[in-house]
Amino acid sequence: MLLQDVDSRIDRVSAEMNEIPREKLIHEKELASQEVEYQREKRKLEEIRESSGKCIESKKEIENRLADFKNKLLEMKTNEAYRAMLDQIEYAEKKMSDLDLEIIEKMYEEEQGEADLEEARKIWERNKKRTEKRQEILDGQLEVLKENMEKLMEERVEVSSEINKRLLVKYEQLRATDRGQVVVGLQKGTCGGCLTNIPQQTAVEISQGETYICPICGRFVIWTDDSSMAGAN
Ligand SMILES: [Zn+2]
């Protein structure tokens, strides 16, 4: 049936049209997650730099304190006070060497953080460009599909006008229930949709070009190239 053929083309075009915004959304989500990743790397680097700055500050502070301790050492009057000051100096020197190690560690972390940020930026940028191109292609495809759809709709109006009103209403009802093929062939004397046996006389009429509505499933049963009567192979 011509109308069913037009409708299945309409369904195909409509499915393709629905696919386009879906694909676009996938690209947009991917881009958004890459931006989130970039921002995360950026924050991570900022935190490393901040904590590295704090280490350097602490080190300066201890350096000053140490210089102060060394000056005071000479002024110590008693052995005990001298000892206590030496302990303080030893403690401060230990603290300083710990900080030196930490500062070197932070330097490595910062280098790694910079590389990670650059990598995240590249991935994001690259995908942004790719997505822009893809979106352009998709927009172009959508335009073509819209034109096709308009033509098909016009064709549908034309084809529908040549179909018996009563049959058309029935057809539209079936199509609205969306149970797949609305028009089926006579298959070995049965309805090609639900396999209900069709009376011999009716089958003959179908083979002569009559359109028959299956009383069980409501589909149109017609004679097709691979149709056959009951008992035939
Ligand atoms: Zn049937």
Strand order in the sheet with 183-187: 190-191, 183-187, 220-222, 212-213
**SS3 state of residue 195:** coil
CA of 153 to the centre of ligand 1 (A): 28
CA of 230 to the centre of ligand 1 (A): 15
CA of 14 to the centre of ligand 1 (A): 27
Residue 57 lies in a domain: yes
CA of 69 to the centre of ligand 1 (A): 102
Instruction: Render pLDDT for 101-158 as a digit per residue (tens, 0 to 9).
Output: 999 999 999 999 999 999 999 999 999 999 999 999 999 999 999 999 999 989 988 9
CATH number of the domain encompassing residue 10: 1.10.287.1490
In the structure encoding, which two tokens stand for residue 217, read together? 């499933």
**Both 62 and 151 in a single domain?**
yes
- Residues 212-229, mean pLDDT to the nearest whole number: 86
Domain's final residue, options 117, 134, 161: 161
Residue 124 lies in a domain: yes
Residue 229 lies in a domain: no
- What does the alpha-carbon distance between residue 224 and residue 164 come to, in Å, rounded to a whole number? 20
End-to-end CA distance of the chain: 24
Domain's final residue, options 161, 189, 208: 161
Phi-psi region of 221 (alpha: psi -120 to 50; beta: other; left: phi over 0): beta
pLDDT at res. 233: 45
**Both 9 and 63 in a single domain?**
yes
CA of 210 to the centre of ligand 1 (A): 16
- What does the alpha-carbon distance between residue 68 and residue 85 come to, in Å, rounded to a whole number? 11
CA of 213 to the centre of ligand 1 (A): 8
Contact 12, 233 (CB under 8 A): no
163: Cβ contacts below 8 Å, ≥ 6 apart: 3, 171
Contact 65, 152 (CB under 8 A): no
The residue range of the domain holding 195 is 165-222
